Amino acid sequence: MDLEIRNLSHKYNDLEVLKSISLEIRSGQIVCIVGPSGCGKSTLLRMIGGLEQPTSGGVYQIGEPPADSLNPLTYIFQDFALLPWRTAWGNISLVLEEHNLGAEAVRERIENVLERTRLTEFANAYPRQLSGGMKQRVAIARALAVNPAVLLMDEPLSALDSQTRELLMDDFVALWQREAFTACYVTHNLAEAVALGHKIIVLSRRPGVIRNVVEIPVPIGERQHGSPELIEIQDQLWEMMREEALSADRELADV
Amino acid sequence: MSDLAQRRDDVVTPTQDDETRKVRYRGGGFSPKPRAFIAPIVFLVLVVIWEIGSHFGLIPPIVLPSPSEVLQALKDLVQSGLLWKHLSASLYRLIIGFTCGTILGLAAGALIGLWSYPRAALRPLVAAIFPIPKIALLPLFIIWFGIGEGSKVATILFGSFFPTVIATYGGIDAVDRSLINMGQSFNLSRWSIIRKIIFPSALPAILNGMRISASISIILLVAAEMIGAEYGIGAYVLLAGNLMSTDQLIAGVILLSILGLVVSYLISLAEQYFLRWRK
Ligand SMILES: Nc1ncnc2c1ncn2[C@@H]1O[C@H](COP(=O)(O)OP(=O)(O)OP(=O)(O)O)[C@@H](O)[C@H]1O
Ligand SMILES: [Mg+2]
A86 touching B (Cβ < 8 Å):
yes
- Per-residue pLDDT reduced to its tens digit, B213-241: 999 999 999 999 998 888 999 999 999 99
Residue B274's closest chain A neighbor by CA?
A: A85
Please state, for a pLDDT cut of 90, what percent of chain B lies above it.
74
A246-255: long-range contacts at Cβ-Cβ below 8 A with a sequence spacing of 24 or more? A247/A205, A248/A36, A248/A205
Mention every residue, 6+ apart, whose C-beta is less than 8 A from residue B160.
B97, B98, B101, B102, B105, B213, B214, B216, B217
- Per-residue pLDDT reduced to its tens digit, A107-159: 999 999 999 888 999 999 999 999 988 999 999 999 999 999 999 999 998 88
pTM confidence score: 0.84
- Per-residue pLDDT reduced to its tens digit, A192-215: 898 889 999 999 887 888 988 988
Over range B188-195, report the average pLDDT.
Answer: 95
Over range A37-60, report the average pLDDT.
Answer: 91
The answer to whether A71 contacts B186, with C-beta atoms less than 8 Å apart, is yes
A146 touching B (Cβ < 8 Å):
yes
Q: Is the pLDDT of residue B109 over 90?
A: yes
Strands (E) across A26-76 are located at: 30-34, 56-62, 73-76
Count Cβ atoms below 10 Å from residue B191 Cβ, excluding itself.
9
Residue A86's closest chain B neighbor by CA?
A: B277
Distance from A242 to chain B by nearest Cα, in Å? 31
The full set of domain ranges for chain B reads 67-278
- CA dist B215 and B208 (Å) reads 11
Band of residue A178 on the pLDDT scale cut at 50, 70, 90: confident
pLDDT score for B13:
57
- Using DSSP's 3-state secondary structure scheme, residue A102 falls into coil
Residue A85's closest chain B neighbor by CA?
A: B277
Count Cβ atoms below 10 Å from residue A166 Cβ, excluding itself.
16
Average pLDDT for chain A: 89
pLDDT score for B16:
59
- CA dist B133 and B129 (Å) reads 9
Q: Label the pairing between strands A150-154 and A199-203.
A: unpaired
Over range A213-232, report the average pLDDT.
Answer: 85
- Per-residue pLDDT reduced to its tens digit, B41-69: 999 999 999 999 998 988 888 888 899 99
Cα–Cα nearest to B165, from B118, B113, B215: B113
Q: Is the pLDDT of residue B1 over 50?
A: no
Over range A71-81, report the average pLDDT.
Answer: 92
Q: Is the pLDDT of residue A1 over 90?
A: no
**Ligand 1 pocket list (CB less than 6 A):** A 12, 15, 17, 35, 37-43, 188, 206
A52 touching B (Cβ < 8 Å):
no
The answer to whether A79 contacts B192, with C-beta atoms less than 8 Å apart, is no
Over range B119-132, report the average pLDDT.
Answer: 94
CATH class of B67-278: mainly alpha
